[in-house]
Amino acid sequence: MEAAGCSYQFRIALLGDAAVGKTSLLRRYVAGARGAVEPEPEPTVGVEFYSRALQLPAGLRVKLQLWDTAGHERFRTITRSFYRNMVGVLLVFDVTNRESFEHIQAWHQEVLSSQGPDKVIFLLIGHKCDLSSRSVSTQEAEELAASLGMAFMETSAKSNCNVDLAFDTVARAIEQALQQGDINLEEDWAGVRLLHRAPNPRSPSRKQDSGPCQC
Protein backbone atom coordinates (compact mmCIF):
# COMPACT_ATOMS: atom_id res chain seq x y z
CA MET A 1 0.00 0.00 0.00
CA GLU A 2 1.22 3.49 -0.80
CA ALA A 3 2.19 5.71 2.13
CA ALA A 4 2.09 9.07 0.35
CA GLY A 5 1.96 11.98 2.77
CA CYS A 6 2.69 9.83 5.85
CA SER A 7 5.00 11.34 8.41
CA TYR A 8 5.49 8.37 10.73
CA GLN A 9 5.36 4.62 10.53
CA PHE A 10 4.12 2.67 13.55
CA ARG A 11 4.89 -1.03 13.74
CA ILE A 12 2.11 -2.96 15.43
CA ALA A 13 1.70 -6.71 16.04
CA LEU A 14 -1.29 -8.92 16.69
CA LEU A 15 -0.49 -11.60 19.27
CA GLY A 16 -2.52 -14.40 20.74
CA ASP A 17 -3.16 -18.12 20.41
CA ALA A 18 -3.59 -19.78 17.02
CA ALA A 19 -7.10 -19.57 15.50
CA VAL A 20 -8.33 -16.66 17.66
CA GLY A 21 -8.81 -14.68 14.43
CA LYS A 22 -5.72 -12.45 14.18
CA THR A 23 -5.25 -12.84 10.43
CA SER A 24 -8.97 -12.32 9.79
CA LEU A 25 -8.98 -9.15 11.89
CA LEU A 26 -5.95 -7.76 10.07
CA ARG A 27 -7.31 -8.60 6.66
CA ARG A 28 -10.66 -7.11 7.50
CA TYR A 29 -8.99 -3.87 8.62
CA VAL A 30 -6.82 -3.59 5.53
CA ALA A 31 -9.63 -4.57 3.17
CA GLY A 32 -11.88 -1.98 4.85
CA ALA A 33 -9.69 0.81 3.52
CA ARG A 34 -10.22 -0.43 -0.02
CA GLY A 35 -13.91 -1.13 0.46
CA ALA A 36 -13.47 -4.83 -0.32
CA VAL A 37 -13.26 -7.88 1.91
CA GLU A 38 -10.59 -10.47 1.26
CA PRO A 39 -11.56 -14.12 0.88
CA GLU A 40 -11.24 -16.51 3.83
CA PRO A 41 -7.67 -16.60 5.10
CA GLU A 42 -5.31 -19.39 4.19
CA PRO A 43 -3.42 -20.89 7.13
CA THR A 44 -0.63 -18.35 7.59
CA VAL A 45 2.93 -19.35 6.72
CA GLY A 46 6.08 -17.24 6.82
CA VAL A 47 6.27 -13.66 8.06
CA GLU A 48 3.60 -11.31 6.80
CA PHE A 49 2.72 -7.73 7.31
CA TYR A 50 0.02 -5.42 6.02
CA SER A 51 -0.12 -1.63 5.78
CA ARG A 52 -2.73 1.04 6.03
CA ALA A 53 -2.45 4.81 6.13
CA LEU A 54 -4.31 6.76 8.77
CA GLN A 55 -4.93 10.42 9.58
CA LEU A 56 -4.83 10.95 13.32
CA PRO A 57 -6.86 13.61 15.15
CA ALA A 58 -3.86 15.59 16.42
CA GLY A 59 -2.68 15.98 12.82
CA LEU A 60 -0.21 13.16 12.27
CA ARG A 61 -0.57 11.14 9.12
CA VAL A 62 0.81 7.68 9.82
CA LYS A 63 1.41 4.45 8.06
CA LEU A 64 0.51 1.49 10.25
CA GLN A 65 2.72 -1.49 9.52
CA LEU A 66 0.71 -4.40 10.88
CA TRP A 67 2.52 -7.65 11.58
CA ASP A 68 0.88 -11.02 11.66
CA THR A 69 2.54 -13.72 13.71
CA ALA A 70 2.32 -15.92 10.65
CA GLY A 71 1.70 -19.27 12.27
CA HIS A 72 4.73 -18.95 14.58
CA GLU A 73 2.43 -18.49 17.57
CA ARG A 74 1.50 -22.15 17.29
CA PHE A 75 5.07 -23.20 18.07
CA ARG A 76 6.08 -20.23 20.24
CA THR A 77 8.95 -19.47 17.88
CA ILE A 78 8.49 -15.70 17.74
CA THR A 79 11.86 -14.00 18.14
CA ARG A 80 12.81 -11.38 20.71
CA SER A 81 13.64 -8.96 17.91
CA PHE A 82 10.09 -9.30 16.56
CA TYR A 83 8.69 -8.18 19.90
CA ARG A 84 11.38 -5.61 20.52
CA ASN A 85 10.60 -3.73 17.33
CA MET A 86 6.91 -3.16 18.05
CA VAL A 87 5.41 0.06 19.39
CA GLY A 88 1.89 -1.34 19.57
CA VAL A 89 0.50 -4.78 20.38
CA LEU A 90 -3.05 -6.07 20.11
CA LEU A 91 -3.39 -9.02 22.48
CA VAL A 92 -6.16 -11.08 20.94
CA PHE A 93 -8.28 -13.84 22.46
CA ASP A 94 -11.42 -15.55 21.19
CA VAL A 95 -14.46 -14.85 23.43
CA THR A 96 -15.61 -18.45 22.83
CA ASN A 97 -12.23 -19.97 23.75
CA ARG A 98 -11.47 -19.70 27.47
CA GLU A 99 -7.95 -21.06 27.09
CA SER A 100 -7.02 -18.28 24.67
CA PHE A 101 -8.13 -15.77 27.34
CA GLU A 102 -6.13 -17.52 30.03
CA HIS A 103 -3.00 -17.30 27.86
CA ILE A 104 -3.20 -13.51 27.50
CA GLN A 105 -0.96 -12.80 30.48
CA ALA A 106 1.72 -15.10 29.07
CA TRP A 107 1.61 -13.21 25.73
CA HIS A 108 1.84 -9.93 27.58
CA GLN A 109 4.83 -11.17 29.55
CA GLU A 110 6.59 -12.38 26.37
CA VAL A 111 6.49 -8.85 25.01
CA LEU A 112 7.56 -7.20 28.24
CA SER A 113 10.49 -9.55 28.72
CA SER A 114 11.75 -8.80 25.19
CA GLN A 115 11.10 -5.07 25.13
CA GLY A 116 13.34 -3.93 27.95
CA PRO A 117 12.49 -0.44 29.17
CA ASP A 118 10.88 0.74 25.91
CA LYS A 119 7.22 1.60 26.02
CA VAL A 120 4.66 -0.49 24.17
CA ILE A 121 1.02 0.42 23.76
CA PHE A 122 -1.18 -2.62 24.39
CA LEU A 123 -4.85 -3.20 23.64
CA LEU A 124 -6.74 -6.30 24.78
CA ILE A 125 -9.10 -7.65 22.12
CA GLY A 126 -11.96 -10.09 22.72
CA HIS A 127 -12.53 -11.32 19.17
CA LYS A 128 -15.45 -13.16 17.46
CA CYS A 129 -18.01 -11.13 19.44
CA ASP A 130 -20.58 -12.04 16.77
CA LEU A 131 -20.78 -15.52 18.36
CA SER A 132 -23.23 -16.16 21.19
CA SER A 133 -21.43 -19.23 22.59
CA ARG A 134 -19.21 -17.18 24.90
CA SER A 135 -16.91 -18.54 27.54
CA VAL A 136 -15.43 -15.19 28.60
CA SER A 137 -17.62 -12.35 29.85
CA THR A 138 -17.05 -8.72 28.94
CA GLN A 139 -16.68 -7.87 32.60
CA GLU A 140 -13.88 -10.31 33.36
CA ALA A 141 -12.01 -9.24 30.23
CA GLU A 142 -12.35 -5.61 31.31
CA GLU A 143 -10.99 -6.55 34.72
CA LEU A 144 -7.98 -8.31 33.21
CA ALA A 145 -7.28 -5.34 30.93
CA ALA A 146 -7.48 -2.94 33.87
CA SER A 147 -5.13 -5.11 35.93
CA LEU A 148 -2.61 -5.09 33.06
CA GLY A 149 -3.02 -1.33 32.53
CA MET A 150 -4.55 -1.45 29.07
CA ALA A 151 -7.88 -0.82 27.38
CA PHE A 152 -10.26 -3.57 26.24
CA MET A 153 -12.42 -3.85 23.16
CA GLU A 154 -14.57 -6.54 21.55
CA THR A 155 -14.28 -7.08 17.81
CA SER A 156 -15.61 -9.24 15.01
CA ALA A 157 -14.11 -9.60 11.57
CA LYS A 158 -17.23 -11.43 10.51
CA SER A 159 -19.68 -8.65 11.37
CA ASN A 160 -17.11 -5.83 11.03
CA CYS A 161 -17.57 -4.82 14.64
CA ASN A 162 -15.06 -2.30 16.07
CA VAL A 163 -12.39 -3.34 13.57
CA ASP A 164 -11.38 0.20 12.56
CA LEU A 165 -11.89 1.44 16.11
CA ALA A 166 -9.41 -1.08 17.54
CA PHE A 167 -6.56 0.04 15.27
CA ASP A 168 -7.53 3.72 15.61
CA THR A 169 -7.38 3.41 19.39
CA VAL A 170 -3.87 1.96 19.37
CA ALA A 171 -2.62 4.48 16.79
CA ARG A 172 -4.02 7.41 18.78
CA ALA A 173 -2.47 6.16 22.00
CA ILE A 174 0.91 5.87 20.25
CA GLU A 175 0.52 9.40 18.85
CA GLN A 176 -0.22 10.70 22.32
CA ALA A 177 2.75 8.85 23.86
CA LEU A 178 5.02 10.33 21.17
CA GLN A 179 3.74 13.83 21.84
CA GLN A 180 4.21 13.43 25.58
CA GLY A 181 7.72 12.05 25.16
CA ASP A 182 6.82 8.65 26.67
CA ILE A 183 7.90 7.08 23.38
CA ASN A 184 10.89 8.38 21.48
CA LEU A 185 12.43 7.70 18.09
CA GLU A 186 15.56 5.59 18.28
CA GLU A 187 18.09 4.80 15.54
CA ASP A 188 18.06 1.05 16.00
CA TRP A 189 14.36 0.67 16.76
CA ALA A 190 11.76 -0.07 14.07
CA GLY A 191 8.75 0.56 16.34
CA VAL A 192 8.38 4.17 15.20
CA ARG A 193 10.06 5.50 12.09
CA LEU A 194 9.97 8.98 10.66
CA LEU A 195 9.03 8.89 6.99
CA HIS A 196 10.42 11.81 5.05
CA ARG A 197 7.65 12.25 2.56
CA ALA A 198 6.10 15.41 1.20
CA PRO A 199 2.34 15.70 1.75
CA ASN A 200 0.31 14.56 -1.23
CA PRO A 201 -2.84 16.67 -1.52
CA ARG A 202 -4.31 14.22 -4.03
CA SER A 203 -4.21 11.26 -1.62
CA PRO A 204 -7.68 9.75 -1.28
CA SER A 205 -9.21 10.38 2.11
CA ARG A 206 -9.87 7.44 4.34
CA LYS A 207 -13.16 5.61 3.98
CA GLN A 208 -15.43 6.21 6.95
CA ASP A 209 -16.36 3.47 9.39
CA SER A 210 -19.67 1.80 8.83
CA GLY A 211 -20.69 2.96 12.33
CA PRO A 212 -20.74 1.37 15.75
CA CYS A 213 -22.04 -2.15 15.99
CA GLN A 214 -24.39 -3.64 18.59
CA CYS A 215 -22.31 -6.52 19.88
Contacting positions for Mg ion (CB under 5 A): 23, 44
Nearest to 58 by CA among 160, 168, 193: 168
97 in contact with ligand G3D (CB under 6 A): no
First to last CA, the chain: 31
Rounded Cα distance between 215 and 212, Å, is 9
| Number of Cβ atoms within 10 Å of the Cβ of 145 | 20
Q: State which of residues 4, 5, 7, 18 lies at the interface with ligand G3D (CB under 6 A).
A: 18
Regarding 40 and contact with ligand G3D (CB under 6 A), the answer is: yes
41 binds ligand G3D (CB under 6 A): yes
Q: Which one of 156, 164, 173, 183 is in contact with ligand G3D (CB under 6 A)?
A: 156
In which element (H, E) is residue 63 found?
strand 61-68
Closest to ligand G3D by CB, 10 vs 67, is: 67
Is 128 a binding residue for ligand G3D by CB under 6 A? The answer is yes
**Least CB distance to ligand G3D at residue 145 (A):** 19
**Burial readout 3-18 (b: 16 or more C-beta within 10 A, e: otherwise):** bbbbbbbbbbbbbbbe
Q: Tell me which of Mg ion, ligand G3D, none is bound by residue 170, counting a contact when its beta carbon lies within the kind-specific cut-off of 5 to 8 angstroms.
A: none
The residues binding ligand G3D (CB under 6 A) are 18-24, 40-41, 44, 127-128, 130-131, 156-158
